Amino acid sequence: MKTNYHTHTTRCMHAVGSDEEYVLSAIKGGFQILGFSDHTPWKYRTSYVADMRMLPEELPEYIESLQYLREKYREQIDIKIGLECEYFPEYIPWLKEQIKSGTYKDGDRIPTEIELAAQFGVSRDTVRKAISVLEKESLLRKIKGSGTYVRTSLKPAPSPVGRDSRRIGILMNDIDSYIFPSIVKGINSVLNKEGYTSVIQFTNNCISQEYNALKNFLEGDFAGLIIEPTKSALPQLNYDLYQKIAHTKPAVLIHAKLPTLPLSSITMGDEAGSMKLAEFLLENGHRDTAIFCKSDEQTGTSRYLGYVKAYQKAGLPIIDQNIFWFASENLPDVFSDPLDPKIGKALTSCSAIICHDDRLAHSLRKYLQSHSEYPGDIVICGFDNSEISEEQKFTSIAHPKEQFGEYAAMRLLEKIKDPSLDVSFDFNPKLIVRNI
């Protein structure tokens, strides 16, 4: 068996080529196992930035990229995801100094073992041993079900910020006449019943607006937060704020996950829904289908993955030319003149099109109706089962909408009562069939 357990990427600044190029080269070379082992990111005690290791903020994207490739090429090669780690025992005295100097104050909760292991590039066991040393010296204190707290005095760790507040912060990407008002309605119906009020902010899919909103929520007196991350499929530029939220305020994410942080999430079953939709089309004779997905949101990457899994399960090849990606802000212009020639070819050769949502499906139908050169019997499918799909008779994957909002609010209230709970929930998607 040919194996390679030592492969670096461009994030280490001494390698060239994309992650996928390494995978394809290994497959071509007859390797059965390919192990990625970038130098672990490291937070130095000075402002020094190394020229041979990834930055700490690059780690989530590194993992996500390789997880995607591992799934994409799982039938051809076994991809291992790792880090080349160095052990710096001298950093334990430094951490002690940080505590004593006040960088970490009495009562502060430190990051989890998993987060610390990822941040400093060591094993979880190493982190656990270091914490044990500091516990014995009465510099840290573990509280079961809550976390590990700085202990420079004998005072108990403080209660989470905002526990007595009756305000809930809600952050969403946009609020138009699509499905979002129903989600907010569901959230508020639960909060109002329990005596809470909501403060709603919108990012308009803008990272800087997300930064300002998260900062305001952190500084304000809020009992908890419901957040729809902006550009959730891309490296999280506001990760430090999400990290602070994870350790100071009960919070629930919607439509996305941040697996490196202890933040609960409510999702609509995007991967399973897309798989159901693709399988349904295949069962009805539509072997040649195209899919259009958002590239900057986790809903898009999850729907792509479900589509791929359906084809793999059926033993059919994935045709790259039938897979299209677009950014959120480009959604209105995907099907407009001048049309991308690749899209035009797909509209000619495919019998069914899966669109990221019902809005895009509607845009496609309008385009086909005004361009007679394309087949008029293309089956158009979408996501969300919105009023658009009901009016236009699209087959669609149902978004729970108001129920989704209710669940998000109910789970957040559980989190407020017990911050140690993981209240994550993934809805079981429902296929709504029309005009097949």
**How many angstroms separate the CA atoms of 50 and 44, rounded?**
9
**How many angstroms separate the CA atoms of 255 and 334, rounded?**
22
Same fold yes or no, 91-150 and 167-267+402-426:
no
- The fold for domain 91-150 equals Arc Repressor Mutant, subunit A (1.10.10)
Q: CATH class for domain 270-398?
A: alpha beta
Taking the domains of the chain in order of start, what are their residue ranges?
3-84, 91-150, 167-267+402-426, 270-398
Per-residue pLDDT of the chain (436 residues; tens, 9 = 90+): 888 988 989 888 777 788 999 999 999 989 999 999 888 887 655 555 666 778 888 888 888 889 889 988 999 999 999 888 765 555 556 556 656 565 566 666 677 777 666 665 566 766 777 777 777 666 777 665 556 777 654 443 444 444 458 999 999 998 777 899 999 999 999 999 999 999 999 999 899 999 999 999 999 999 999 999 999 999 889 999 999 999 999 999 999 999 889 999 999 999 999 999 999 999 999 999 999 999 999 999 999 999 999 999 999 999 999 999 999 989 889 999 999 999 999 999 999 999 999 999 999 999 999 999 998 899 999 999 999 999 999 999 999 999 999 999 999 999 999 998 999 999 999 999 997 6
pTM of the model: 0.64
What amino acid occupies position 150?
Answer: V
Element containing residue 369 per DSSP (H, E): helix 358-369
CATH superfamily of 167-267+402-426: Response regulator (3.40.50.2300)
Place of tokens 């007859």: 30
Q: Nearest Cα to 426, choosing from 264, 266, 229?
A: 266
Sign of CA dihedral 217, 145, 257, 166: negative
Whether residue 60 contacts residue 235, with contact meaning beta carbons closer than 8 Å, is answered with yes
List 323's β-bridge partners, or say none: 291
